[in-house]
């Protein structure tokens, strides 16, 4: 029997094949000691050996409600988003607040690659080769004070560029947050690209958060404001349904969403469902952040 698959253009297949081969090549060089860890940003910190999800799926099956609630809406409408010039306001409990241009934000941070699983709360997942840098490296530049217990992030608001904002499907701006120790954890990442290329609008250009051990909705896109705050910030999803979308949102197969189980997931491109892993497979690195916490209450 033939299984119907989405068609992938020849150019994109080639693109993907070249990308995988380049990775294999660099892995070989690294393996025989031709490249130091420092000279191998592409592979340092690779979080998984699982096959990366094809570029077309990563960029054509998205959640980005600012462009509509359908999975194809972001790819269709993200061309409306103007990512240059772009600036990010940093404020709250820090010694060096300010409004920075995208160039100011990115300049001190050379590209690193991180291959991370992304598990959506809806029950699907992908493996995405991001380009970017650790969130902690960015946050430290602003010298957060001891009052900075949490970090709040906001996405751009502009219904002309983001037509989905003409409807109140969520509270705009899309707002998310992390506890400061989660934000400073080495796995927390600012992505500016994927598959070795600039980040497409539908994936959150020009810069977005990636927190791989949490459900995808924590990984806020197209960030324009970062605030150091003392209280746990409200979030857009938490406001819309507090019983369904908790602040922590750590991937947890043992805690069901009120309307569905979280035991299994469908990896995009695969047929048989996979078991969902505690902390999305990153338990060894992050479980200690939550020692002593009741993860059913703090879902
Ligand atoms: N601003 C904003 N960020 C967002 C969303 C959104 O609707 N708006 N959706 C979230 C959800 S639910 C998921 S699963 C991921 C999807 O990221 P991807 O489209 O790059 O795979 O983005 C998250 N970040
Ligand atoms: Mo999601």
The CATH code of the domain that includes 212 is 3.90.420.10
- Of 73, 55, 66, 67, the closest CA to residue 194 belongs to 55
**CA nearest neighbour of 191 among 267, 114, 137:** 114
Ligand 1 atom nearest 58 alpha carbon: 21
| Same domain assignment for residues 32 and 155 | no
Q: Of the bound ligands, which one is closest to the alpha carbon of residue 65?
A: 1
Q: Is 221 annotated as a binding residue?
A: yes
Whether residue 282 is contained in a domain is answered as: yes
> In terms of domains, do 56 and 19 share one?
no
3 is in an annotated binding site: no
Pair (155, 232) in one structural domain: yes
Pick from 170, 219, 245, 257 the residue to mutate for probing ligand 1's pocket: most ligand atoms within 8 Å of its CB.
219
pLDDT at site 15: 54
Q: Which of 142, 251, 105, 141 is nearest to 187 (CA)?
A: 251
Measured CA to CA, the distance from residue 127 to residue 54 in angstroms comes to 9
Same domain, 37 and 65: no
CA of 248 to the centre of ligand 2 (A): 14
Distance of CA 35 from the midpoint of ligand 1 (Å): 35
CA distance 219 to 191: 10
Give the ligand 1 atom nearest the CA of 204: 20
Q: How far is the CA of 54 from the centre of ligand 2 (A)?
A: 18
194, 104: one domain: yes
Q: Is 208 marked as binding a ligand? A: yes
Same domain for 27 and 98: no
Ligand 1: nearest atom to the Cα of 174: 1
Closest C-alpha residue for ligand 1 atom 16: 63
The pair phi, psi for residue 115, each rounded to 5°, is: -95, 110
State the alpha helices, DSSP H only, in the chain: 10-31, 55-60, 73-77, 102-106, 135-140, 180-183, 236-240, 283-286
Is the domain of 149 the same as that of 192? yes
Distance 29 CA to ligand 2 centre (A): 37
Residue 296 included in any domain:
no
Q: Please tell me the distance from the alpha carbon of residue 235 to that of residue 155, in angstroms, as a whole number.
A: 11
Q: Is 298 a member of any domain?
A: no
Residue 297 domain-assigned (yes or no): no
Tell me, yes or no, whether 78 and 149 share the same domain.
yes
Q: Assign residue 280 a region: left if phi > 0, alpha if psi is -120 to 50, beta otherwise?
A: left
Question: Is 180 annotated to bind ligand?
Answer: no
Domain region containing 134 = 44-290
Do 133 and 21 share a domain, yes or no? no
Q: Do 140 and 261 share a structural domain?
A: yes
Q: Provide the 10 A C-beta neighbour count for residue 140.
A: 12
Q: What residues does ligand 1 touch, defined as CB less than 6 Å away? A: 62-66, 118, 120, 155, 174, 203-204, 216-217, 219-222
In a domain, 6, yes or no: no
210 belongs to a structural domain: yes
Q: Which two tokens stand for residue 203?
A: 């994936």
Number of domain units in the chain: 2
Same domain? 39 vs 169: no
Q: For residue 209, report the distance from its CA to the centre of ligand 1, in Å.
A: 10
Residue 149 lies in a domain: yes
CA of 216 to the centre of ligand 1 (A): 6
Please give the Cα distance from 228 to 20 (Å, whole number): 39
Q: Which parts of the chain have pLDDT scores under 50?
A: 1-11, 31-45
Same domain, 39 and 55: no
């Amino acid at each position: 029997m033939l299984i119907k698959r989405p068609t992938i253009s020849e150019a994109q297949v080639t693109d993907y094949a070249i990308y995988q081969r380049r990775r294999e090549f660099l892995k070989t060089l690294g393996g025989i000691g031709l490249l130091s860890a420092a000279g191998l940003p592409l592979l340092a910190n690779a979080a998984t050996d699982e096959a990366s999800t094809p570029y077309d799926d990563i960029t054509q099956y998205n959640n980005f409600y600012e462009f509509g609630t359908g999975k194809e809406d972001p790819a269709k409408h993200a061309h409306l988003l103007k990512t240059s010039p772009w600036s990010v306001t940093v404020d709250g409990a820090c010694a060096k607040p300010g409004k920075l241009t995208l160039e100011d934000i990115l300049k001190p941070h050379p590209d690193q690659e991180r291959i991370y699983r992304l598990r959506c709360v809806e029950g699907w997942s992908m493996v995405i080769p991001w380009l970017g840098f650790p969130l902690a490296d960015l946050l430290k530049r602003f010298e957060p004070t001891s009052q900075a217990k949490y970090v709040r992030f906001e996405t751009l608001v502009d219904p002309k560029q983001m037509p989905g904002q003409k409807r109140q499907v969520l509270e705009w701006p899309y707002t998310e947050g992390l506890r400061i120790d989660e934000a400073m954890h080495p796995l927390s990442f600012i992505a500016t690209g994927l598959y070795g290329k600039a980040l497409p609008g539908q994936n959150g250009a020009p810069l977005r958060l990636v927190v791989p051990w949490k459900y995808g909705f924590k990984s806020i896109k197209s960030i324009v404001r970062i605030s150091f705050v003392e209280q746990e910030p409200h979030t857009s999803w938490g406001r819309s349904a507090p019983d369904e979308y908790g602040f922590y949102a750590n991937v947890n197969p043992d805690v069901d969403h009120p309307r569905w189980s979280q035991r299994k997931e469908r990896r995009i491109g695969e047929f048989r469902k996979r078991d969902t892993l505690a902390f999305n497979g990153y338990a060894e690195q992050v479980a200690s952040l939550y020692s002593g916490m009741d993860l059913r209450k703090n879902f």
